[in-house]
Structure 1
Amino acid sequence: MKAREDACVLRYTNESFKSVADLTSAFHVSDTSNSSVTNVAGVNATLWSLMSRLAAEAAVSELRLAKGSQVYKGSKGISQVIYGLAQCTRDLNASECSRCLTYFVEELLSSSFSVEINDAVKGYSCNVAYKIGEDFDSYLFHEKDPSPGTRRTLGILAGVTGGSIAFVICTGTLVCILLRHRSIKAREQEVDVFHDDPLEDNTFDKGTGPRRFRYRELATAAGFFSDEEKLGEGGFGSVYKGYLKDMDLQVAIKRVSKSSQQGRKEYISEVKIISRLRHRNLVQLIGWCHGSGELLLVYELMPNGSLNSHIHSQKNVLSWQLRHGIVLGIGSALVYLHQDWEQCVLHRDIKPSNILLDASFNAKLGDFGLARMVDHERQSHTTAVAGTMGYMDPECMLSGSASTTSDVYSFGVVLLEICCGRRPIVVVQDSEEYATMHLVQWVWECYGRGRIIDAADARLNGEFDGDEMERVMITALWCAHPDRTLRPSIRQAIGVLRMEAPLPSLPTNMPVATFMPPMHHLQRESGATTGSSSGSAGTKHSSITTKTSSLPR
């Protein structure tokens, strides 16, 4: 059992959780009622820089706490201060604290609107938060000891609370023992989590190809989900390595957190969509299980993990030949999703952690938890904002209108990341100071100077085909053009990458796109990522009050 109120946490269980970060629960708390921010890129770049620094400082702090601030300039040249806070529970060592904070910072920034003035993600092991224009002096995560005058009162409260907690723990222990005996029997039976929605269950069983497994089959295959078999952990569950004896097949089994409403939604979306798709560059869904109170997805095992784990590795540098093949593989998958399948599939979360690599380093796009199907005539879907900051089309982030062009934007950012070996937000030195900017902006500046090859990953030591590198990076800039009406379709982009069409003519300076955001509340939908992915367990609303928004260079 777990419960929290502001900065207070109460937990009890029959299993030890001390010194292990809990990443399964993340709660968003935000306030957007007071004012707005118009400098989208400036705020996002500053937030990434500030929160990443605080996460690193908190992990090595004795109190597991760090606070700080950083200045950014608004679109009218007015400076404002962003205050940030990062904190872990003190039972975590530096490594576990860093793991928790790194994940929560991504949760905080990958799903936040640019207009939010006060935002936080709180969990049971760590918390991260930022405020624009207001310090954290009144924040509830205190690092100071109580004053002498309050210690007597606190002692009385501690005694009363301690007795109450002891009673609750004893009662809870008895309940856990009873539930444990019941759960053993329940595992033998298929108790459907969709018993209240038979239509959902019938829809699942209509799928062809992937099969429905029983819980015991998958639990046995994954060593009953032991830590030794764990491959990774995301916002809505963990992924385990498994072996299906009857199929003589190594698989990856994703155990979705059944307590998360968003995790349940993404589970349904994943099965409904990916079970119907067949392409060599898409991760294959082997089967699924939503019996015995569990949500399980079974995929083909990708021996080389995600692209994210390779593209930024200092030890094993991917050759240009492998990178170029990955670029074409991702593009081929998107052509199938956008144009060649019976309906248009919008992925909405294209990023390196959702691109998996098989034994031969062939790229396969996965994680369809945020995907949506639309008719080919529409090719757009107005919905809650979803995706990962840095890869999201800025206009989509404000309007909530996902489309094939927003997928193409994400594709362009990923191509630049593959070519440059840099993350979407880069740090550059300006005189004696360091500044942050988006990767698209940085590469476009190199392009404007006629030195786009300078942006190539230095770890390649020049061992690449210069014409191919230039072609991929220019195509990437075309895909990430600030004006979505000037972006190519994915088929046009692939034509250029395969040298079937000439390079596009782009302006020397990165254009500034101006658009009108909708004047209504948008509900934010989290981006999850198992591959990394990435998502949060809550929802929030944001009121956009600006009349026009510009995407600065």
Structure 2
Amino acid sequence: MIIILYLLFLALPSWAKTFDLPDNARAKVGLGLGLGIPVCALVIGFFIFCYLKKRTITIIIRKKNEDVNDATQEFGIETGPKKFTYKQLALATNNFGEGEKIGQGGFGGVYKGFLKEIHSHVAVKKILSGSKQGIKEYAAEVKTISRLRHKNLVNLIGWCHEGKELLLVYELMSNGSLDSHLFKGSCLLTWSIRYNVIKGLASALLYLQEEWEQCVLHRDIKSSNILLDSNFNAKLGDFGLARLVDHEKGSQTTILAGTMGYMAPECILTGKADKVSDVYSFGVVALEIATGKKPLDPMTEDGHIRLVDHVWDLYGRGKVSEAADSKLDVDFDEGEMECVISVGLWCAHTDPDARPSIKQAIQVLNFEAPPPSLSKTVPSEIFATPINMSAF
């Protein structure tokens, strides 16, 4: 249409001459048409642009809805997660009031609520638009965790997708996250509880890697994603970055995902996630639990920024007991402490080939196999992984 109008505009001088008009009238007609046709073309072009833009946005929204529907189409089964309305969840959480907030992350907030429909307290994860957890992560979390059944995994009760609102409903973990107890003074975890948490997390990882129909790569195992129930049993949650792979394949190359300090060195450079990279994260968490220290500490006195390097240095000098969390006040089983630290270092080895399978780690934790024979010195970096502390 615009091209036709443009051609007419070019033909104006010769076309105007065919009319028997005075020169001044012919000039006015030519001027009017000369100005009017381009303006009309611009107006028509603007409306065409608006139409195409609206159509594109509609297609994108429809595609996003299809992604979520594809991920949740199996929820019709009675034993699966239930679909809730936004109104139901807003009512349950006092309209997502600040007084009900029990957690906050890059994805949004987590709110405590009571759902009359199921007569139960719940935790509602409300994902902010434009957050780290977008539609793909939401769909992955719904699709993955809804099919998993294990005592050490957080149970997904339901979900909600209305317009731009993305929400997930979980069973409420009354004792919050592991990191809140280790670093925020919620309450002191005794050694027996800590040891049980480590074994519970290992059991969850074994299920994900070996016992389910597919291998589940969690890709974000860390203390803040480990929740504690009323009996302080560990339950692994937040499957927003999880990926499913065949057991035979056991790995996936993708964009960098995870949390610095917990990510295996090879993941940072290659983006390749596999079973042993999740094992690495497990090892870091085990050392966190034993020492009460965070994975990265730029202010450490011995110069080791990484917790793994700090503990390995003590291990090599035969001072494993000094690595134990001082808040425990030596109230721990030394044999179990040494076992956890050796397993943690073994799992968090810089060389992926030197790490154990999670099954081997469990055998040592259960004293069904001897502890690993590790180097007395901190292993050299197989992968160069410079740390940018400004990112934390």
Shorter chain as denominator, the TM-score bin is 0.7 to 0.9
Letter in 2 for 1:428: T
Higher helix share: 2
CA distance 1:516–1:270, shift in 2 (3 Å): same
How far off its partner does 1:403 sit?
A: 0.6
Q: Which runs of 5+ in 1 are unaligned?
A: 1-192, 518-534, 537-553
Deviations 1:526-548 (A, max 9, x none): xxxxxxxxx99xxxxxxxxxxxx
1:194 and 1:200 in contact (8 A); partners too: no
How far off its partner does 1:206 sit?
A: 1.1
Deviates most, 508-517 or 201-210? 508-517
Show the counterpart of 1:422.
293
Show the counterpart of 2:72.
204
Pair 1:291 & 2:162 matched = yes
How far off its partner does 1:240 sit?
A: 0.9
Show the counterpart of 1:500.
368
Give the counterpart of 1:278 among 135, 144, 149: 149
1:221 and 1:242 in contact (8 A); partners too: yes
Pair 1:238 & 2:114 matched = no
1:348 and 1:370 in contact (8 A); partners too: yes
d(CA) in 1 for partners of 2:212 and 2:306?
33
How do 1:33-48 and structure 2 match up within 5 A?
A: none
1:308 and 1:353 in contact (8 A); partners too: yes
Letter in 1 for 2:160: C
TM-score between both structures, scaled by the size of structure 2: 0.79
Deviates most, 369-378 or 436-445? 436-445
Identity %: 55
CA distance 1:464–1:326, shift in 2 (3 Å): same
Letter in 1 for 2:326: A
Structure 2 counterpart SS, 1:303: coil
2:68 and 2:135 in contact (8 A); partners too: no
1:303 and 1:357 in contact (8 A); partners too: yes
Show the counterpart of 2:321.
453
How far off its partner does 1:258 sit?
A: 2.6
TM-score between both structures, scaled by the size of structure 1: 0.56
d(CA) in 2 for partners of 1:333 and 1:204?
23
How far off its partner does 1:406 sit?
A: 0.5
How far off its partner does 1:423 sit?
A: 0.6
Give the counterpart of 1:398 among 257, 266, 269: 269
1:338 and 1:346 in contact (8 A); partners too: yes
Deviations 1:498-542 (A, max 9, x none): 11111111111122143599xxxxxxxxxxxxxxxxx99xxxxxx
d(CA) in 2 for partners of 1:340 and 1:412?
20
Show the counterpart of 2:9.
none
Higher strand share: 1
d(CA) in 2 for partners of 1:314 and 1:234?
19
Letter in 1 for 2:202: G
Show the counterpart of 2:257.
386
* Number of aligned residues: 324
1:447 and 1:508 in contact (8 A); partners too: yes
Structure 1 counterpart SS, 2:117: helix
How do 1:208-223 and structure 2 match up within 5 A?
A: 208=77, 209-223=80-94
d(CA) in 2 for partners of 1:481 and 1:472?
14
Give the counterpart of 2:334 among 466, 469, 477: 466
CA distance 1:515–1:420, shift in 2 (3 Å): closer
Structure 2 counterpart SS, 1:233: strand
2:111 and 2:124 in contact (8 A); partners too: yes
Specify which structure has the bigger relative contact order, considering alpha-carbon pairs within 8 angstroms and separated by 6 or more residues: 1
C-alpha RMSD of the superposition: 2.1
Structure 1 counterpart SS, 2:169: strand
Letter in 2 for 1:272: K
Structure 1 counterpart SS, 2:142: helix
